[in-house]
Amino acid sequence: MAAKEDLYAKVTPRRQRQSRPSIIKHGSTLDVLLSMGFPRTRALKALVSTGGKNVQAACDWLFSHVDDPFLDDPLPREYVLYLRPSGPLLQQLSYFWQQSRLSCGKNKAHNIFPHITLCQFFMCADGKVEALCDALQATVAKWKARIPMPLPLELYTSSTFIGLFVEEQVAEVLKGFAADFASEAAAKADVHVEPHKKQLHITLAYHFHASHLPVLEKLAKNVDVSSGCDWMAVLFSRDIRFANHETLQVMYPYVPQNDDELELVLGDFIFTSPVEQSSASEGWVFGTSLGTGQSGLLPENYVNQADESDTWVVHGYYSLLQCVNSAYLSNSSQCKNESSMQVLRPATQSSLSKMRLFVCRHGERMDVVFGKHWITQCFDSKGRYIRSNLNMPSSLPARSGGHRDYDKDCPITVFGSTQARLVGEALLESQTAIDFVYCSPSLRCVQTAQHILQGLQQEGNTKIRIEPGLFEWTKWVSGTSLPIWILPAELATANLSVDTTYRPHIPISKLGVSESYDTYISRSFQVTREILAECKSLGNTVLIVAHASSLEACTRQIQGLTPQNSKDFVQVVRKIPYLGFCACEEIGETGLWQLVDPPILPLTHGPNHSFSWREMLMHD
């Protein structure tokens, strides 16, 4: 393989190349793409670039990169193996990240999430990535019982660096794990992996101003390194062409006015480099789109700085947690539920190996409580929102189409937010961590998911994936058009924890008005299966926040049962209250699921009529 310097030199002049497309995870997925007529190199590149998610994601990538000048370039991606914390320790580290940014601004450590580096970046051909993932899985299986948990960490500070270092003896064990992965990778995928030789650590801050040291040091000392934690061995990849570029995120869409300008799509990422800015005038930058691979000039004030790791792709994600027996859990101070921050999974082997699916209805909705005309009551002639009841939210997200779009896409009430937080707090109390959250695009569902995560103390750590395929039966939508939903990037701008990089399994364009019952049931079953397949081996627990109908539609067929007729279905749906909650558990490796008792108690609530003191208490 060519030297790394030669590869970088090869991709520096980005503007003269001709275009074409590419994909990974693989086997049958690759066969499907090949049968659709895509060239093998393109199919493999698309699979690699989407983490081997599914055929739909790969096809979407290929179609969006049809004019990418590097589409047929054989240049491989770069890979790296990290240990990532989760649970309470991650929450503490994320809080440090947040507070240090607020107090001292962004420093170099913030470009990547909290992690321990196990090897240097290395390259792997697209066709060998599946074998590389197999190498990691085999290594984790061999070493899982040999890595002491929890990892002992010690704070170190200097005038230019702050970090948490792994105790030397345990660090040697981790280095042995990394060396074994390097051997497996060489044998299975024919790649050279260089294990990290320096002291293993989590970097908290570096490249910061000297005056910021006291504040950063104080914040670092507040991190409780004994907090419970499940360490994950995660294999990431990045596009080698942009390894030394600044990463920006599009905040506003832009339609090109000239041939040399780049179209901007809300939520997309843009890569820029100082060496490419010679053609850019003041207020403009030259960059390349992650979403399309195309390059051009763009207005500087339409993008914001983002983290480098926001654009990375996950290829393998394996837990190293060894708190699997009750004796260890009862005797280890690190694994006791001594703090409200603790979010440890139950100490049973089944809970660590079986996947669980939770499906939850959204919270109380505004138009049901205050009637269909609540919009005219709450918005003035200039479109400004003013609440008229304490159960109305104090503010609402701005909508690009105006406040009339709330007519078909209403928010939840204050009490709806409280209901959702109660559910999150109950999950926290039951020591249930949520690994993935998928959500209908309806605002009431997104807000409900957000407040559940707040109650769970996972807000900001777990991103909400907006999945249009989870929307309710479109026959129930009034009028001749679907709701105009708030885009994920706009939701993120409104401080909702939304994953703006997520590519839906069923895009909005695939939803039809007044679909048949069979189409809705089929859609719900398809998207549920694809979500579960996507999360397989990456985490134990998936939460879907959607509609009353979703509790039946998303769980019945994965149990191997045939759908009910539409009349019986409607009768079941009518009885499901706000925040109705159900749980399913995977049955071994059969591919089937069964309904089980949820880890939380049910939430019962009753109606509360409007009260007017004038009408009730003022008498002649």
Do residues 155 and 52 both lie within one domain?
no
Do residues 435 and 555 both lie within one domain?
yes
Do residues 194 and 292 both lie within one domain?
no
Per-residue confidence (pLDDT) for residue 619, from 0 to 100: 63
Do residues 120 and 262 both lie within one domain?
no
Structure confidence by residue, pLDDT tens digits, 105-128: 878 888 888 999 999 999 999 999
Per-residue confidence (pLDDT) for residue 481, from 0 to 100: 92
Average pLDDT estimate for 62-84 = 92
Last residue of a domain, one of 313, 329, 348: 313
Do residues 170 and 218 both lie within one domain?
yes
Do residues 60 and 81 both lie within one domain?
no
Picking from 502, 503, 519, the residue whose alpha carbon sits closest to that of residue 511 is 519
Do residues 39 and 121 both lie within one domain?
no
The angle that helices 129-143 and 168-189 make with each other, rounded to 10 degrees, is: 140
More confident residue, 33 or 511: 511
Per-residue confidence (pLDDT) for residue 345, from 0 to 100: 32
State in Å, rounded, how far the first CA of the chain is from the last one. 94
Is 620 a member of any domain? no
Is 578 a member of any domain? yes
Per-residue confidence (pLDDT) for residue 153, from 0 to 100: 93
Per-residue confidence (pLDDT) for residue 166, from 0 to 100: 94
Last residue of a domain, one of 195, 211, 237: 237
The CA distances from residue 225 to 148, 163, 175, 261, 618, in Å, are 15, 11, 21, 48, 61
Picking from 303, 238, 300, 232, the residue whose alpha carbon sits closest to that of residue 265 is 303
Per-residue confidence (pLDDT) for residue 173, from 0 to 100: 93
Is 321 a member of any domain? no
Per-residue confidence (pLDDT) for residue 145, from 0 to 100: 76
Do residues 83 and 36 both lie within one domain?
no
Is 604 a member of any domain? no
Per-residue confidence (pLDDT) for residue 58, from 0 to 100: 87
Per-residue confidence (pLDDT) for residue 230, from 0 to 100: 75
More confident residue, 432 or 148: 432
- For the chain, give the longest Cα–Cα distance: 94
Please report, for the domain that includes residue 477, its CATH number.
3.40.50.1240
Do residues 226 and 257 both lie within one domain?
no
Per-residue confidence (pLDDT) for residue 321, from 0 to 100: 65
Average pLDDT estimate for 60-88 = 90
Per-residue confidence (pLDDT) for residue 23, from 0 to 100: 31
Do residues 305 and 361 both lie within one domain?
no
State how far the Cα of 513 lies from the Cα of 515, in Å rounded to an integer. 6
Is 124 a member of any domain? yes
What is the number of other CB atoms lying within 10 angstroms of the CB of residue 203?
18
Q: Produce one character per residue of 3-24: b if its CB has 16 or more CB atoms within 10 Å, e if not.
A: eeeebeeebeebeeeeebbbbb
Structure confidence by residue, pLDDT tens digits, 97-111: 888 888 888 788 888
Of 10-14, 384-388, 446-450, the poorest mean pLDDT is in 10-14
Structure confidence by residue, pLDDT tens digits, 23-49: 333 447 888 888 888 999 999 999 999
Structure confidence by residue, pLDDT tens digits, 131-163: 999 999 999 988 877 888 788 999 999 989 999
Average pLDDT estimate for 362-367 = 95
Structure confidence by residue, pLDDT tens digits, 515-537: 999 999 999 999 999 999 888 87
Catalytic (active-site) positions: 361-362, 547
H/E run at residue 393: none
Do residues 309 and 360 both lie within one domain?
no
More confident residue, 318 or 520: 520
State how far the Cα of 464 lies from the Cα of 448, in Å rounded to an integer. 11
Average pLDDT estimate for 79-100 = 86
Average pLDDT estimate for 92-99 = 85
Is 378 a member of any domain? no
For residue 552, what pLDDT band results from cuts at 50, 70 and 90? very high
pLDDT at 9 over 50: no
Instruction: Report the half-sphere exposure of 154 (CA within 13 A, side-chain side).
Output: 9
Do residues 59 and 164 both lie within one domain?
no
More confident residue, 326 or 522: 522
Average pLDDT estimate for 460-486 = 93
More confident residue, 325 or 49: 49
Is 399 a member of any domain? no
pLDDT at 308 over 50: yes
Report the chain's mean pLDDT, rounded to a whole number: 85
Range of the domain at 143: 75-237
The number of domains in the chain is 4
Structure confidence by residue, pLDDT tens digits, 273-305: 998 888 888 889 999 999 999 999 999 999 998
Structure confidence by residue, pLDDT tens digits, 232-252: 899 999 999 998 899 999 988
Please report, for the domain that includes residue 208, its CATH number.
3.90.1140.10
Q: Produce one character per residue of 357-367: b if its CB has 16 or more CB atoms within 10 Å, e if not.
A: bbbbbbbbbbb
Please report, for the domain that includes residue 266, its CATH number.
2.30.30.40
Is 527 a member of any domain? yes
Per-residue confidence (pLDDT) for residue 505, from 0 to 100: 94
Picking from 516, 528, 519, the residue whose alpha carbon sits closest to that of residue 552 is 528
pTM, entire model:
0.53
pLDDT at 468 over 90: yes
Residue percentage of the chain with pLDDT more than 90: 59
